[in-house]
Structure 1
């Protein structure tokens, strides 16, 4: 049961699409709330929500997740700080603080330095330091942002060094084509992305260009695990001072309540 809960949290923390547009800084960034339903073998077991708040190229990301399986419950709360680095041409993690109650209870905090090459992670009082000469070390929020950035730019393959609680792992992804799928927002065309170089699991991610290039579905299969996350609500709020937009867009299964112009 612990491995199931942990896999759910890893799936959602690592592969939810977060940020709005291609950078650099002159591109406008809107505040967003993304809400996903989570399933285990097609049975709904919880939800996952992220709130993004922008401030001149930096973003504070607040995450809340609740998973309930039989008598087992876990709640995740996390705050991450992510920034765009023009030198690295990537999103970089500044820090994150994570609190999990229930089966995987614990507190984790991390700070990143040297343009993402170094990380220091404190896991319930035990501190570990990591360093990578070749690539920035990113948390799940920065990975998701950078993955979306690659898709907007038409890249077909990308890889990341992902900071986890007590280790750093190298993950590889490839675009496997386009696919039309049914979603809570109707039938949409998506970009299908799969994790590669891992023979013991199958991770598939579907991003919809017509839904703001957001992740609309994710699946994770490994041994007895069969997990799925689907986007059910997306709310976008842009400041009225920007010349690009002056309205709030709420995208739900019933439709768009107001339409904005975005980059």
Structure 2
């Protein structure tokens, strides 16, 4: 993949994305993702408070994502997850050998995973890599998602471009769907008008009917004069 050299300020920003969460069209809480980029690495913090049928769940995850020159892709360094309430517990995941292996600790129990093909990635690295692919015009995606109990292969495909209504007015969006899974429907919309960020997602499976809609998108970047204009980056901007 050819390298590009966009303004370095694009890669030193802090981005705060907030989403309204729905279950069966009822509001159940909000989720916020804060991405702090510095050079080719990011600290990503995601947290949410959810209440369904008087059951409260608090979710918090911190992850580290970086750009690999050798692999020409975003990879995961590790993540920590804390869930309080329904399905509560603590998890810590570390990735090694450019995502070829991982060590997962869940409430003190340790497991190990390996991959000889696609690298093992957490959800934040997958989000960064998919966004980069959409910027580059790619239409097919395949990932190994490392969760806290297993590794799952996911396939996605761009299904077209749409004009959708949002909290930011009528915007352009790229529709991406999960494929090769007949028991569920997982659809995401990324908007070129809003930094190619995820602006809407829906997930339907059996009795589950979930939706996330972007409420706000804030980006704070330091003055460009603070950076060396010789910094080479892989794409027009990072996640």
Q: TM-score when scaled to structure 2? A: 0.90
Helix, strand or coil at the partner of 2:224:
coil
Pick closer, same or farther for the CA change 1:223–1:98 going to 2, 3 Å. same
The one of 189, 192, 199 equivalent to 1:209 is 192
- The equivalent residue for 1:230 is 213
- 2: CA distance, partners of 1:85 / 1:23: 15
Q: CA RMSD in A?
A: 1.8
5 Å-filtered alignment, 1:1-263, equals 27=8, 28-29=10-11, 30-242=13-225
Residues 115 and 44 from structure 1, CA distance in 2 versus in 1: closer, same or farther, beyond 3 angstroms?
same
> Please, what TM-score do these two structures have when normalized by structure 1?
0.82
Mind listing any 5+ residue stretches in structure 2 that lack a counterpart?
228-235
Corresponding residue SS for 1:115: coil
Q: Distance in 2 between matches of 1:195 and 1:91?
A: 20
Task: Name the residue aligned to 1:7.
Answer: none
Call closer, same or farther: CA 1:200–1:52 in 2, change over 3 Å. Answer: same
CA contact under 8 A between 1:77 and 1:98: conserved in structure 2? yes
- Kindly indicate whether structure 1 or structure 2 has the higher relative contact order, using CA contacts under 8 Å at least 6 residues apart: 2
How far apart in 2 are the matches of 1:243 and 1:123?
41
Match of 2:230 in 1: none
Runs (4+) of structure 1 exceeding 6 A deviation are: 22-26
User: How many residues get paired?
Assistant: 225
